[in-house]
Amino acid sequence: MRWPSFIFPFGAWFFLALIPLLILYFLKLKRPRHTISSLVLWQAVIDDQRVNSPFQKFRRNLLLLLQLILLCLVILALMQPFMSAGPESGEYVPVLIDCSASMASTVDGSDQTRLDVAKERASQLFGSQQVALFSFAATGRRLTEFTRDDHQLKNALEKLQPTDLQGRLDDVLRVVAAYSRSYPIEQAIVFTDGNVADTIDFELPFGLDVRKVDPGGPNVGITEMNARRTGAEEWDVFLRVAGSTDDLQEAEVTLFQDGQPVAKDMAEVALDESERFVFPISTGDPTLLKAELTAVESDALAADNVAWLSLPKARNLRVRVTPELFSWRHGIQVLPHIDLDDSLDSERSTYDLIVSDSEDLQGSEAPVNVFIGVIPPALQGLVGVEEGFADVVDWNRTAPILRHVQLREVQIGQQIVFAEDIADGDLEERGYEVLVSGARGPLLLQKREGLKVSFYFLFHTDQSTLPYRVAFPVLVSNAVDNALRNASLSEVKSAPTGVLPPLNVEPDREYTVRSPQGDEVQLTSTATGLLTGAPAGMVGRYDILEDGEVVQSVGTGLLSPQETSLTVVDELKFTELNVATGEAEATMLDSEQPLWWLLALGAFVFLLLEWWYFARARGATA
Amino acid sequence: MSTGTKQLTTLFDNSVLNRVERMRLSPRRRLTNRSRGEHLAGKGGSSTDFADYRDYVAGDDIRNVDWNIFARLQRPYVKQFLHEEELHLTLLVDASTSMVFDDKLHKAKQLAAAFGIMGLLNVERVSVFVGHQVPDQSSMLPPGTGRPRVRQLLDFLEKTEGGGAVPIEDAIDTMLRFHRGRGIVVILSDFLTFTDLSKSLNMLFSSGLEIWGLQILGASEINPDVHGDLRFVDSETGGTLDITNADELLNIYHAQRKALQEVLDSQCRRRNGRFLSIDASEPPELILFDRLCRHGWVQR
């Protein structure tokens, strides 16, 4: 059985007004005393009437009863009850509130954000059941335990602020699912704008009631920002601006280089008509670019109006190739912007790319390594080299290093074989991904260690026909591109909010990451000189400080076409079922039916009844 | 009253008194005492009323031999006459507070006086018992006979005042503690008591008394004029009863009043008695010379 909930439960204090009513009634009710000879006959009359009319006892105080009912109905109406058709009947109700960037957009025609609306509606669920608050954006977060404490819940709700992150439901649902093992959760309520990923890889162990808040107003925003190196010190900066409405919206795009505006343009965008801008930039030094968007008319979401991009210092790619690998050296040295080191005794210890036929790099290191004819020490005993010929059976065509590489009909003068009872899975368990497979064993492996990636050609390319194939220069170019991207020398992408991209700093040092709001986080760089895991929930510029000095700056932007479009999904696709997301108004009508008007009508009827009864009694006395 | 002669009693007019003196009680049964009176007993006696003949036996008073019969038949026959015995009339007057309402007590005293005069002038033993709680006032007139007793009877009744909470069953119990002899008990009361009177009436009946119940109700009891929400206060006990919309309950009230009268009538009849309910506002002449005569209570 469903019980009504109250929007204004504190109105129950007005029930104390019943006490003075009762006191006044009993003070006022003074019946005229009438002395008679004996009560014998009248007592018999009353006894007889009580037998024949069991409600006489109530009728004696009918006026009081009517007044009490009238007052109760008025107070109940004041408490604004509503009958929920939703899951509020469950004792434990997790309430999930979307805090993604799109929830910060204002409701059309008001200054209220959609998160404010969601918080207001969520607060109406408090009091009648055990509620636990969860927030979600890119990840889920528990705000409170299950409680009936209105004060605690409202405090948690009050502190909830929108983030500049994309909305995802799966993470928070997993958190709630963990709670469902401890609490009998029948259904969870989600307050969202519907701007979430519609496909969720999650098996729902409970029901989901998705309540969408009002749609946001028109919005324009930057959804993409990156740069491509076009010359030694030349960059093309790409910007994509998108809108949220079917009608064209105008906005001014301004690009700032180290705080100075360097380019400006006007954008006209709509929901399905984004506009791409290209701004050429010349700089050889590290530069922080900032793109800013100013809508000509209203703009519902501010977080997507700014994007940041860090351009590294322009330099050539540093490549070390073992002198014996002629084919690789020839393939690389013809490529532009390359500093090739093919000396026998190299002193340089840091490269962007190393191509070697030995596992021993003699102290040198690079984020991208290509080993030729090397079996990783970890795989010794799992794969071996035998005499014979091998063919390429299959290869991973989507691997960056093998993109557009045709390996069919490549002849290999070595036979790479698995040891007995060894298969691809055993290699994968050790962190090696098979990119090229031969008939009896793997031919090319890839291993990732953080940002570092190593490619192992288990056969020697000089003992194959590969260097004589068209695929070889493509393969070499792919390896170089891989190194260029890794060193951010060819293409740079703006960092989205969430976590800052790994930053190259001095190894094993303490750094402080200062957010745009001034919050500071202490982090230690890795032994390889990477600073990772810095949280970046808000759009803006993050400064990396060492001993109080800014050593590096990086900016983040929302850069989410989904958030900028403010579009809503009508159905969430789960592993086993789909959950419809109700329209804002329809959902509210179905789930919360106000009852105050029924009570007010009842009070009016009782008022009429009381008036009739009172007038009738007075008429009879007269 | 308009004759200018002195009134013998304040209870009623001399003319009524004169008419009452010529009336006599008409009991259903011969409940008499052994002492001689004017009520004829069923057995033989020495009255002038002839009863029967029987054969003479040795020892009979020869004055009772019918000599005319002896002359014709040459056999002695003894002439028998009815025996005349005395009847004990007890007047039980309810003088509790409830009887003060609507002149019910006055009416009870009038009727008690009338019954008493009828008894005394017909050589019956008459006693009066009053159920009340009035300080310094006697509640009993001892049994007495003869015309001289009339004055005492009238004085006693005239001085009787009402008051106190004495239920009629208590009054009957008290009366029976002092009463001796068979006869008639006339109960003049409103019979408004919470207790069932069966036990009290049984005790009266077993004491050899023919029960004549005379219920006297006032106008406020026969046709109560009440409206709206009231708090009734019992005049005797001070108890209260809240009534809502009293006018709506009048039908039930009348039904209850009639039911009470039927119960009392039934209880009296089952004990060879009589019951009659009268309105206190009715004139005594109408009650005495019309209603009581028509119901066979008295003879003119």
Mutate to test the interface with A, among B102, B244, B253 (most CBs of A within 10 A): B244
Q: Which has more pLDDT, A372 or A231?
A: A372
Mutate to test the interface with B, among A30, A33, A34 (most CBs of B within 10 A): A34
Q: Per-10-residue mean pLDDT for chain B, 300 residues long?
A: 68 89 82 52 55 82 88 89 72 93 93 93 88 88 88 93 91 91 92 92 92 94 88 90 84 93 94 93 92 90
Which residues on chain B are in Cβ contact (under 8 Å) with A55? Answer: none
**A31: contact with B, CB 8 A cutoff:** yes
CB distance A40–B192 less than 8 Å?
Answer: yes
- What's the total number of domains in chain B? 2
Residue A87's pLDDT band, with cuts at 50, 70 and 90, is very low
Pick B249's closest partner by Cβ from A33, A40, A45: A45
CB distance B242–A31 less than 8 Å?
Answer: yes
CB distance B249–A49 less than 8 Å?
Answer: yes
Q: Tell me, what CATH number does A274's domain have?
A: 2.60.40.10
Domain boundary among B70, B85, B100: B85
Does B136 lie in the same domain as B51?
Answer: no
Look at residue B258 and tell me if it is in a domain. yes
Which residues on chain B are in Cβ contact (under 8 Å) with A59? Answer: 244
Which residues on chain B are in Cβ contact (under 8 Å) with A35? Answer: 232-233, 235
Does B220 lie in the same domain as B233?
Answer: yes
Does B99 lie in the same domain as B61?
Answer: no
Q: Is ipTM > 0.90 here?
A: no
Eight-state DSSP code of residue A214: P
Select, from the ranges A93-107, A302-316, B48-62, B203-217, the one with the highest average predicted confidence (pLDDT): B203-217
Pick A48's closest partner by Cβ from B99, B252, B260: B252
CB distance B193–A46 less than 8 Å?
Answer: no
CA–CA separation, A520 and A513 (whole Å): 5
- What's the total number of domains in chain A? 5
Does A431 lie in the same domain as A304?
Answer: no
How high is the pLDDT of residue A585? 38
Look at residue B169 and tell me if it is in a domain. yes
Does A478 lie in the same domain as A355?
Answer: yes
Look at residue B62 and tell me if it is in a domain. yes
Does B145 lie in the same domain as B107?
Answer: yes
Does A389 lie in the same domain as A517?
Answer: no
Does B148 lie in the same domain as B251?
Answer: yes
Does B108 lie in the same domain as B78?
Answer: no
Domain boundary among B44, B65, B85: B85
Pick A31's closest partner by Cβ from B99, B224, B229: B229
Does A121 lie in the same domain as A268?
Answer: no
- The one-letter amino acid code at B106 reads H
Q: Is the per-residue pLDDT at A189 higher than 60? A: yes
**A8: contact with B, CB 8 A cutoff:** no
Does B136 lie in the same domain as B235?
Answer: yes
What is the per-residue pLDDT across A384-403, written as a single tens digit (0 to 9) for each? 998 888 889 999 999 999 99
Does A168 lie in the same domain as A113?
Answer: yes
**B258: contact with A, CB 8 A cutoff:** no
Mutate to test the interface with B, among A25, A33, A45 (most CBs of B within 10 A): A45
How high is the pLDDT of residue B200? 94
Mutate to test the interface with A, among B168, B216, B245, B247 (most CBs of A within 10 A): B245
DSSP, collapsed to helix, strand or coil, labels residue A535 as strand
Look at residue B295 and tell me if it is in a domain. yes
Does B109 lie in the same domain as B81?
Answer: no
Shortest CA distance from A62: residue in chain B: B244
CA–CA separation, A548 and A540 (whole Å): 20
Does B161 lie in the same domain as B123?
Answer: yes
Q: Tell me, what CATH number does A341's domain have?
A: 3.40.50
Residue B289 structure tokens: 């010379």
Does B52 lie in the same domain as B80?
Answer: yes
Which strands form B183-189's sheet, in the order they lie side by side? B140-144, B125-131, B88-94, B183-189, B209-217, B274-279
Q: Tell me, what CATH number does B222's domain have?
A: 3.40.50.410
Residue A586's pLDDT band, with cuts at 50, 70 and 90, is very low
CB distance A37–B241 less than 8 Å?
Answer: no
How high is the pLDDT of residue A484? 87
Mean pLDDT across A60-78: 81
Does A539 lie in the same domain as A413?
Answer: no
Does A45 lie in the same domain as A96?
Answer: no
| DSSP letter string, A365-386 | B-SEEEEES---GGGBTTEEEE
Look at residue A591 and tell me if it is in a domain. no
Does A88 lie in the same domain as A75?
Answer: no
Does A603 lie in the same domain as A475?
Answer: no
Does B231 lie in the same domain as B95?
Answer: yes
Look at residue B59 and tell me if it is in a domain. yes
Does A22 lie in the same domain as A47?
Answer: yes
Does A289 lie in the same domain as A183?
Answer: no
**Domain interval for residue B54:** 35-85
Residue A187's pLDDT band, with cuts at 50, 70 and 90, is confident
Which residue is listed with tokens 């210092």?
A313
CB distance A35–B232 less than 8 Å?
Answer: yes
CB distance B220–A31 less than 8 Å?
Answer: no
Does B163 lie in the same domain as B222?
Answer: yes
**Domain interval for residue A28:** 5-79+596-621
Q: Which has more pLDDT, B40 or A209?
A: A209
Domain boundary among B47, B62, B85: B85
CB distance A42–B260 less than 8 Å?
Answer: no
> A476-493 b/e with 16+ CB inside 10 Å = b?
bbbbbbbbbebbbbbebb
Look at residue B5 and tell me if it is in a domain. no
Beta bridge partners of B80: B52
Does A273 lie in the same domain as A164?
Answer: no
